[in-house]
Structure formats: structure tokens, C-alpha cells
Amino acid sequence: MFKSVSIKKKLLVLLTVPVFVQALLIGIVLYLHNEGESARLEAEKSKAVAEKINFVYDNLMEVMTVAGGDSSLGVQLFHTRWNQSFQKLRSSIGDLKQLVKDKPERLEVIQRLDNDLKQAEGIMPHLEKSWLESQYQGRPERVPLWEKLYSIACEEAPKKIVQLEKQEKLAFDSNIEKRAQLRERILLSIVLLSGANVLVVIGAVVFVLKDIGKRFSVMQDNSYRLASDLPLNPPMLQSDEIGAMDSTFHTMAKALKEASLKERAIIENARDVICSLNKDLKFESANRALGEFFHVDPQEILNEPLHRFIDEADKESTYAYFEKARGGQQQQPLELKVKKKGGEEFYTIWSVAWFEELKSFFCVVHDITERKNLEQMRQEIVRMVTHDIRSPLTTVQGLIQFLGVGHLGELNEKGLRMVKNAELSADRIMALVNDFLDTERLESGNFPMVCDVFKAGSMIEDSLASVIGLAEKKDVALEGMPSDLYVTCDRDRIVQVLVNLMSNAVKFSNAGQSVTISAVEAGEFVEFRVKDRGRGIPADQVSSVFEKFKQVSAQDARNMGGTGLGLNICKSIVELHGGTIGVESEVGQGSTFWFRLPLAELDA
């Protein structure tokens, strides 16, 4: 049951017990102090009673001194002094009664003493009467009265006074003993309760150290076990705050273990190499893919330096790359040729990050050998297209032109028609080759551009001149809008873009329609717009018109010609200039292709 009590309540109980003991100690001390105070007051009262008893005795002696026998009856002042002395005595008796009113035994003795004194007081009138009847001394009838008076005053009353004194002395002695006992009880209570309080505090400390401290030690040990990848201690049975913390810790440890297992599974099953190198570029850890890369057991590579697996010529540049990565100055991945165990070489790309806390490089290594081979194949294809196709095709085009103009003899009408078809086919193939080469150069980043400030209007005029022949054949009117805006660009490349867009606009326009080209200011850009009134582009194809080999209709390639690369080339050229390109189209209403280039700032 106590296991379900919270630490807050436990500590509250532990704090309450010493407070209760302290309160009990204070209560007992206050009680004993009150008892002692009562005993002190009782002692003072006993002292006052003793003094009053002595005062009564003195008054009694004074009365008996006044009563000097028959000889005193004839003295004129006797009666006055007798009455005064007796009044004082009676008053003292009254005070004494008041002091011992809560002491029945002593009050009873005083009451008997008071009765005796009343009796003695009653004798005096008889003596005075007898004296008045016969004023001489020694009359026999007064002798018994005097004897009775002296018996009361000198025997009976003193006995009772002595009895009172004894009783008061006993009470005083008892009071002194009681006060001594109270002092001992106070001291004993302080000692016992203080000792009990100390024991309770010690017990509380022992409880805290044994219960709370022990469980905190278990949690600390669990932290060490978690860090050391050791099994945790069993969960605590208590459901208090520490128990809740322990439960949360076990839940967290379970989640961390599951996450670690998932992470390890991902790392171990990754096709890329995931490894760590120390500051000396020696392998510290790696996943299984490392063994597949180098055809060895990954454990054999641990503590081996990286330079063992790379060419000597690449060693210096590789170490320089890692040094920059350590300083946080390297952002680009590293392409590195490495060697397998048998000496076979393959190409890799390394993504490297330095962790200062661990003093290690963490690397992800991807095999790009296939990509490199594909790039080499593509370069071979480009070289083949350039030298083995375009050069002979140029020769063929020249020969066809010679045939067409009659340099190789006159041709009949059928021959001229065949030459014309051959020329169109050769031009189409040459356009395809040129588009293909442009695309490859753009993708490889080997697309030279010479930029300067040019007037947009002059580039529009040049593009119009390039497509005027095609427009006349299609009976399409060209409208060029004048523009005084300037842009920074490669003039030939932008004219190429404009010619491509205008050629497409003319191809997809019907006879009698027009194509408009303009350049307007759009904020910090110059926007070139080529607008036709042709069939337009379906909405679901607008977003894909700039993709490679994309045609709106499969028949367009056969009927209109083209490679499907022109718009993709336009997009790449515009983006190389830091611009954007797009299209606005509505089926049946035509299309407007536009692109934006940064507006040039001319010096004043």
C-alpha cells in the first residue's frame, strides 16, 4: 500500500512526525510549566497562610496580655483594648479563612478555632457584669470564667494553631517536593522527546537514503547501462514520482533501442557505404556495403588508412578536401577513384561531414562507376554524332545544293523534286543533330555564352528576319513591336530562343493569321512575348511542353517537323541567363510564349 503513496506525501509524513514530536514536547513542557507555576503559587499561598497563622497567634497573645485577671477589670482602658485586640484577632481569622477556603481540612480547623474564640469572646461580658455587681477582686463566681477563658486562649486555641502550622508545613514541604518532581519531569520530558525527535529525524534520513536514494542509484545505474548498451534493471514496483520517472526511462530506452535497431537495419542494408573516419582518415566503423565495395570483410578495413585504397596521385587532393571539410569550408561532394582488394578501380562520390564532438568524419559513399561509364558512352555518342554524322551530312547537304542549282548537270522536273525532298530531309536531320548537341552541351555545363548589354528591339528584328521566309510560305503575317529596353545576355543565344519560339508559332498558325513578338518592362525584368492565334495547347499539357521530346500531338512530328527538343533548349538557355519561361494558352484562341530576362542598368 505504501508503494503507491507519492514521494510528496511520504516526505510530508516524514516532516509531520518531527513537527508532531516537537509540538508534543512543547505541549508537555507548557503543561509541566503550568503545573510548576501552580505549585509556585501554592507555595506563595502557603507562605501567606503561615504568616497569617503567626499573625493570628500574635493577636491571640496580645488578647491574653490585655486580659490580666480581675485586676484588669477595674482599669478603664481594658475594655477598649480588649475589644480592639479581639477585633484584630477575629479579622485575622477571617483573612485566614479566605486563604484556605479551598482546603477543607484546614478550613475545618480554623472554623473550630473561630468557634473557640467566639466562646472566649462570650465569657468577657459575664466577667464584666460580675465586676459591676461587686467591684472587688477574687470573687469566687469569676474564677471558673477566668479559668475557661485561659483554657481556651492558652490551651485549646494554641493547639489548633499548632495543628494548622503542621498542616501548612506538610503542605509546604509537599509543594517543594512537587516542584522538584516537576523540574525532573520537565527535564526528563525534554530529554526523552528530544531524543525521540532525533531518532525520528534519523529514521527519516535512513528512509530517504534507503528508499529514495537507493532508487535514484538504480536510475543512475540505468543511465550507465543505457549508455553502455547493457540490459536495464527491472522496472520499479512503486508508482510514485520516481517510479513514474523509471517507467518513462524504460519506455524511452525501449524507444531508443527500437530506433537504434531500425537505424542499424537501414545502415546495414543500405547499398551505399556509410562509414566513419577518425581525424587521421582511418576507418572507425562501416556498414556491410563497405565489404561489398572492396570485396573484403568490413572488420579487416577498420583502423586502415584511406590512402591505401586510392591512387597516390589523388592522395594530396583527398587529404586537402577532408581538411577543408573539417573546417566547415567544404560543401561539395568529393568524386574519388578507389581500388578494390584485387586492384580493380571504380568511381565513387563522397558526402563528408565533420563532427567535432566525436572527432570523426561521417561519410556516405555512392558508387558512380555506372554513371561514369554512361557519361563516357554519352561523350562517345556526342563525338560520333559530331564527327561521324554531322560532317558527312554537311557534305551531303553541299552535294544536294550542287544538284539543285545544276552544277552537276541539268535535272528534269522529277529529279528537281527528288533533290528538294532530299534537301528537306537533310535539313531536318541536321536540325535534329544540332538540337541534340545543344542539349548535351547544356546538360554537361559546356555551353559557352558571351554576355553583354543588348537592345531588345534589335534582337526582335534579327529573329523576324530569320523566320520571314517560313512565314511567307505559310502565309502568316509577322508583327514586331519596337522596344527601347536593354538586357544583359548572349545575343546569339537569345535570338536562337526567339527564332525557335517564332518558328513554332508560325508552324501552328493557319494561313492568314498573324504572329506578334514584343518586349515589355515587367518590374526588374524585360518580358519577351511571342503570341500566335493558332489552335492553342490543351490545359493538361501546358505544364509539360518544355520537357524533352514533348509534342502536343503525335502527328506534329510528322506533319510539322521538329525534334521535340526546341522548347527544352529554350528553357535551359533562359535559365542559364537567370530568367524564367512560361506559356499562356487557350484551345482555339492561340498561345503566348514568354520569357523574362533581368533588365540591364545602363550607365548615365
pLDDT at res. 543: 80
Residue 61 has pLDDT above 90, yes or no: no
Residue 95 has pLDDT above 90, yes or no: no
Distance CA 74, CA 437 (A): 173
pLDDT, mean of residues 298-321? 84
Q: Averaging pLDDT over each range in 236-250, 420-434, 490-504, which range is the top one?
A: 490-504
Distance CA 460, CA 517 (A): 7
CATH topology of domain 449-598: Heat Shock Protein 90 (3.30.565)
pLDDT at res. 294: 73
Pair type for strands 486-489 and 283-286: unpaired
**Confidence band for 549, pLDDT divided at 50, 70 and 90:** low
Q: Which tops the pLDDT comparison, 299 or 64?
A: 299
The CA-to-CA distance between both ends of the chain, in Å, stands at 92
Which of 600, 574, 571, 570 is closest to 454 using CA atoms? 600
Q: Which tops the pLDDT comparison, 307 or 360?
A: 360
pLDDT at res. 54: 67
Residue 548 has pLDDT above 60, yes or no: yes
pLDDT, mean of residues 172-179? 70
Distance CA 38, CA 30 (A): 12
The maximal CA–CA distance of the chain, rounded, in angstroms, is 214
pLDDT at res. 540: 81
pLDDT, mean of residues 242-253? 80
Using CA atoms, how far residue 77 sits from 66, 74, 89, 132, 494, in Å, is 10, 9, 18, 15, 159
Residue 325 has pLDDT above 80, yes or no: yes
pLDDT, mean of residues 468-474? 88
Which of 85, 49, 66, 61 is closest to 163 using CA atoms? 49
Per-residue pLDDT tens over the stretch 342-398: 677 888 888 888 888 888 998 898 888 887 777 777 667 666 666 666 677 677 667
pLDDT, mean of residues 265-281? 80
φ, ψ dihedrals at 481, nearest 5°: -90, 130
Grid cell of 579 as nine digits? 530568367
pLDDT at res. 367: 85
**Confidence band for 445, pLDDT divided at 50, 70 and 90:** low
Which of 545, 535, 539, 552 is closest to 589 using CA atoms? 535
Average pLDDT, the chain: 76
Distance CA 43, CA 35 (A): 12
**Confidence band for 41, pLDDT divided at 50, 70 and 90:** low
Q: Structure pTM?
A: 0.43
Q: Averaging pLDDT over each range in 49-63, 239-253, 540-554, which range is the top one?
A: 239-253
**Confidence band for 469, pLDDT divided at 50, 70 and 90:** confident
The dihedral built from the CA positions of residue 191, 192, 195 and 197, taken in this order, carries a sign that is: negative
pLDDT at res. 59: 65
Distance CA 592, CA 542 (A): 11
Grid cell of 310 as nine digits? 586510392
**Confidence band for 188, pLDDT divided at 50, 70 and 90:** confident
| 267-369 maps to CATH 3.90.320.10 | no
Q: Which long-range contacts (CB under 8 A, 24 or more apart) does 471-478 make?
A: 471/506, 471/515, 474/506, 474/507, 474/509, 474/511, 475/511, 475/512, 476/506, 476/509, 476/510, 476/511, 476/512, 476/513, 476/514, 476/515, 477/513, 477/514, 477/515, 478/502, 478/506, 478/514, 478/515, 478/517
Distance CA 598, CA 506 (A): 27
pLDDT, mean of residues 578-601? 90
pLDDT, mean of residues 306-330? 84
**Confidence band for 593, pLDDT divided at 50, 70 and 90:** very high
Q: Write down the domain spans for the chain.
A: 267-369, 373-439, 449-598
* 39-48, 90-99, 555-564: least confident range: 555-564
Q: What is the CATH number of domain 373-439?
A: 1.10.287
pLDDT at res. 190: 77
Question: Do the beta carbons of residue 571 and residue 547 sit within 8 Å?
Answer: no
* 125-129, 285-289, 523-527: least confident range: 125-129
Residue type, 17: V
% of the chain beyond a pLDDT of 90:
11
Among all chains, which residue has been given the C-alpha cell 482602658? 77
**Confidence band for 138, pLDDT divided at 50, 70 and 90:** low
- Rounded to the nearest angstrom, the gap between the alpha carbon of residue 13 and the centroid of all alpha carbons in its chain is 33
pLDDT at res. 53: 67
**Confidence band for 220, pLDDT divided at 50, 70 and 90:** confident
Question: Do the beta carbons of residue 526 and residue 599 sit within 8 Å?
Answer: yes
pLDDT, mean of residues 304-315? 85
Q: Which tops the pLDDT comparison, 454 or 379?
A: 454
